[in-house]
Amino acid sequence: MNRIARPLPSASRRVDEITGSRRLRRMRKADWSRRLVQETRLTVDDLIWPVFVVEGENRHEEVAAMPGVTRLSVDLLAREAERAAKLGIPAIATFPKVELALKDQTGSEILNPDNLINRATRAIKEAVPEIGVITDGALDPFTSHGHDGILREGIIVNDETVAQVAQAAVLQAAAGADIIAPSDMMDGRIGAIRDALDAAGFQDVAIMSYATKFASAFYGPYREAIGTQGLLKGDKKTYYLDHANTDEAMREIEQDLAEGADMVMVKPGLPYLDIIRRAKDEFAMPTFAYQVSGEYAMIEAAAKNGWLDGEKAMLESLAAFKRAGCDGVLTYFAPRVAALLRG
């Protein structure tokens, strides 16, 4: 008996037998359907704008290593805060470029109630009371050696630095800061700041902990922006986290939350998306990332050379933070992104 040869199934039929009626591309075929099923959304509410402030009036200085970023005098910064508020940006994080004559071994200028950072906070709050102001209690803008703490015989002393940072936090809160974000990575600083704020009547001032701040190569342009790039003696590996460690990062977060941190930050951002995801999964606390100066500069430099589409890279990089679990991002792109998102 002759058997009738059956035709082999076509490639498309074989695929259909494997996938059944599933066609994942169906929802990608049009802009409206892609928008309908988009899982991660970036909004203006996700943005915190880091800004640099300098002495003087009507002063505007370009930061060479960060195209498009400027240092502003207090009067101009207050105007920019108004612009940020109109764009819907929730908060500004301020960083001072302190005059060299005011720097010393202990960073004592941070304890001046009328120092640059505190004057900037007062000016912003007077101009735009509704915008959040985040200040950093670290000493590196104020020290003559560029370290985040007090230097004694070649060692960054922990407890003396913590005491000074806690005093500075109270002064920053008194000037109007809504969130204190100490980036110095000294042990015990969160608890000391919380106690100092509460004792001074600032129970409602929050603490954003730079709980996982890594010893990174991506901070270079920032150090130019605050004027410490030529001052730093040695490196910061004795107090910043080793970039190879994740378990240690989780222990830092756990400790800071136990001491009273209201939210945590991962810094830098894109090279540490795994840390962000793990932090959010393990602690379920408000989690932020800092898209640092080196990350910003790389995108800007590549865009300037025509190697990539800067606008698309900017938005894609920020979406990555949201996808990893961030509740918000500190980014120098903030006003540009806000303007795009608002159309």
Domains of the chain: 42-341 (3.20.20.70)
- Residues above pLDDT 70, as percent of the chain: 94
Q: Convert the pLDDT of each residue in 161-209 to its tens digit.
A: 999 999 999 999 999 999 999 999 999 999 999 999 999 999 999 999 9
Q: How far apart are CA 296 and CA 221, in angstroms?
A: 9
pLDDT of 1 above 50: no
* Residues 266/276, Cβ–Cβ less than 8 Å: yes
Mean pLDDT (the chain, rounded): 94
Residue 233's pLDDT band, with cuts at 50, 70 and 90, is confident
Of the candidate ranges 18-22, 127-131, 177-181, 225-229, the one whose mean pLDDT is the lowest: 18-22
304 token code pair: 């300037």
Residue 9's pLDDT band, with cuts at 50, 70 and 90, is low
Q: Convert the pLDDT of each residue in 88-127 to its tens digit.
A: 999 999 999 999 999 999 999 999 999 999 999 999 999 9
Identify which has the larger pLDDT, 228 or 93. Answer: 93
- Residues above pLDDT 90, as percent of the chain: 89
Residue 161 is predicted with a pLDDT of 97
Largest CA distance in the chain: 104
Identify which has the larger pLDDT, 298 or 10. Answer: 298
pTM of the model: 0.92
Q: What is the dihedral of CA 274, 280, 286, 288, to 10 degrees?
A: 0
Residues with active-site annotation? 213, 267
Q: What mean pLDDT comes out for the span 17-36?
A: 84
